[in-house]
A = this chain, B = another copy of it.
Amino acid sequence: MFYEVDKHSGIPSYIQIMNQIKKEIIIGNLKKGDSLPPVRELSKIFNVNVNTILRALERLEFEGYLEAQHGVGYFVRTDMDLKNSVFNEVSSFVEKMKKENIDLETIKLLLEEVWRNEQFSE
């Protein structure tokens, strides 16, 4: 489910961790009420210090994704419940982009740009 952070990517570890957890919630692998592994375990999984885990979890709590229960654990607080149609749209989009041999990084930047500028929609 989770994988080690890349410590040489330039992106702070706690942000990578936040994104991994968010992603699991978005795709529905983590649902409302589910518990996360204990922080000491997460620390081993992501290969970072407990404090770094805590920083990520606290931010996700602040953003409303998680809830902390002292002595018990961290729990998912939101359900994404994306429609299947959304998944299908994303899949077919990815497929098209791969056929054009465009890499993920490029797509993300292009997407950001188009997202910001509305002039493309008819």
Complex contacts, A91 vs chain B, CB 8 Å: 114, 120-121
* CB-contact partner of A104 in B102, B110, B111, under 8 A: B111
- Cβ–Cβ < 8 Å partners of A15 in chain B: 10-11
Interface size class of A (residues with CB under 8 A): 35 or more
Which single residue of chain B is at the shortest CB-CB distance from A96? B89
Specify how many copies of this chain sit in the oligomer.
2
Residues of B within 8 A of A10 (CB): 12, 14-15
For chain A, residues 54 to 104, give those with C-beta under 8 angstroms from any C-beta of chain B. Answer: 80, 82-83, 86-91, 93-98, 100, 102, 104
Query: Which residues from chain B contact A108 at a C-beta distance below 8 Å?
Result: 108, 111
What is the chain B residue whose CB lies nearest that of A106?
B26
